[in-house]
C-alpha cells in the first residue's frame, strides 16, 4: 500500500504532450488565439476555484504552459503555485498565478484545466471517503479502474485526497479472483501456482463467504478481500479471520457507498476499496481568468 506523495512528473509530461497534440492538431495551431492575440502581448492570469474541494495536480499548471511555449516558440510563462496539492479550497481561492505571453496562456488553458480539474475531482471525492472513515481504523483504497494513460496521476490524486493506493498494475501484486479460481481448478490451486511462479509477490485473494475466507487463510493468504458482503456477513468473516493464529489484512470491496462506508469500516476491516474514486469522480470546477 502506498500513502506518500511523490508527484509523477514523467507521467504528467507525457500526458500533457499527448493532450496538446490532440487539441492543437498536427500543425500545433490554435486558430482563434493566433489570429486575435499579438505575439508580444503579455498578461497575468489566475487559476481560480469555482467550487469547494481539494486540489491535486497543481504542478501540471507549469508543465502545460512550458510545453505550449516550446511548441509555439515563445518565452514560457512564469507560474507561481499558491496552493499545495492536498489543500482544501473554497470558491474564489486562487490556486496559481500565471504571467507571460497571452498566446501561450490561452492556448494551454483548456489542456491545463482538463487535467487539474480531473485530478482535483478525484482528490475531492477521496477526501469525502477519508473523512467518513476517520476514527474507524480503516483506510480507503483505490483500484485499477482508472482512465487509460492517467493511472499514476489519478492514484497520486487519491493520495492527495487522503486515500491509499492499492496495487499499481498487474505486475506488482497478485489478486486471485473468481475467474482465476475457476481456471486454475480452485482457490488453493490458484494460490499455490502464484506462490510457486512468483515467490516474492504479495498475493490477495477475493472471497464471498466465511468458509471461502478460511479456505484462503488455510492456503496461505494473509490479505483477504471480502467481496459484496452484507455488513453482518462481513462482521462474521472478520471475526473468523481475526481468530486465526497469524494476522490477516482484510478488505471490504464491491458496491460500497459513502452512506454505508462507516458501517462497513466498523466491522474491523483494515481497508475499503472503492473503484469510484477514479472511475466516477466529478471534476472540481476550476477556471483561468485573465486579470484586467
CB 273 within 8 A of CB 175: no
Distance CA(166)–CA(144), nearest Å, equals 8
Catalytic residue, chosen from 145, 195, 222, 262, is 145
Distance CA(14)–CA(37), nearest Å, equals 28
CB 251 within 8 A of CB 269: yes
Helix (H) or strand (E) holding 210: helix 210-219
Distance CA(285)–CA(157), nearest Å, equals 15
Is 166 catalytic? The answer is: no
Is 70 catalytic? The answer is: no
Distance CA(51)–CA(53), nearest Å, equals 6
Distance CA(187)–CA(225), nearest Å, equals 13
Is 249 catalytic? The answer is: no
Distance CA(271)–CA(103), nearest Å, equals 47
Is 181 catalytic? The answer is: no
Phi first, then psi, for residue 107 (nearest 5°) are: -65, -40
Catalytic residue, chosen from 17, 50, 97, 177, is 177
CB 178 within 8 A of CB 207: no
CA quadruple 246, 234, 215, 228: dihedral positive or negative?
A: negative
Catalytic residue, chosen from 85, 109, 154, 206, is 206
Return the DSSP state at 255.
Answer: S
Catalytic residue, chosen from 110, 144, 222, 262, is 110
Is 227 catalytic? The answer is: yes
Beta-bridge partners for 226: 207, 252
* Active site (catalytic) residues: 110, 145, 177, 206, 227
Amino acid at each position: 500500500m502506498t500513502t506518500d506523495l511523490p508527484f509523477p512528473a514523467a507521467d504528467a509530461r507525457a500526458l500533457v504532450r499527448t493532450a496538446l497534440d490532440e487539441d492543437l492538431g498536427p500543425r500545433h495551431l490554435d486558430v482563434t488565439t493566433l489570429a486575435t492575440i499579438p505575439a508580444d502581448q503579455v498578461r497575468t492570469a489566475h487559476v481560480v476555484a469555482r467550487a469547494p474541494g481539494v486540489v491535486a495536480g497543481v504542478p501540471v499548471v507549469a508543465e502545460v504552459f512550458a510545453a505550449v511555449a516550446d511548441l509555439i516558440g515563445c518565452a514560457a510563462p512564469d507560474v507561481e503555485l499558491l496552493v499545495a496539492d492536498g489543500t482544501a479550497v473554497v470558491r474564489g481561492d486562487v490556486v496559481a498565478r500565471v504571467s507571460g505571453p497571452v498566446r501561450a496562456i490561452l492556448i494551454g488553458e483548456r489542456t491545463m484545466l482538463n487535467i487539474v480539474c480531473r485530478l482535483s475531482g478525484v482528490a475531492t471525492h477521496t477526501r469525502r471517503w477519508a473523512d467518513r472513515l476517520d476514527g474507524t481504523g480503516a483506510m480507503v483504497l483505490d483500484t485499477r479502474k482508472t482512465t487509460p494513460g492517467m493511472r499514476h496521476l489519478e492514484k497520486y490524486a487519491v493520495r492527495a485526497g487522503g486515500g491509499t493506493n492499492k496495487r499499481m498494475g498487474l505486475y506488482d501484486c497478485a489478486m486471485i479472483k473468481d475467474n482465476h479460481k475457476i481456471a486454475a481448478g480452485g482457490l488453493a490451486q490458484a494460490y499455490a501456482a502464484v506462490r510457486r511462479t512468483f515467490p516474492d509477490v504479495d498475493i490477495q485473494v477475493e472471497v464471498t463467504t466465511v468458509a471461502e475466507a478460511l479456505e484462503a487463510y488455510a492456503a496461505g493468504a494473509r490479505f483477504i478481500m471480502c467481496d459484496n458482503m452484507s455488513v453482518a456477513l462481513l462482521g462474521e468473516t472478520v471475526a473468523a479471520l481475526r481468530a486465526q493464529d497469524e494476522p490477516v489484512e482484510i478488505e471490504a470491496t464491491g458496491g460500497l457507498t459513502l452512506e454505508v462506508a462507516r458501517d462497513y469500516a466498523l466491522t474491523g476491516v483494515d481497508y475499503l476499496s472503492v473503484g469510484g474514486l477514479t472511475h466516477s469522480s466529478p471534476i472540481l470546477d476550476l477556471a483561468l481568468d485573465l486579470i484586467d
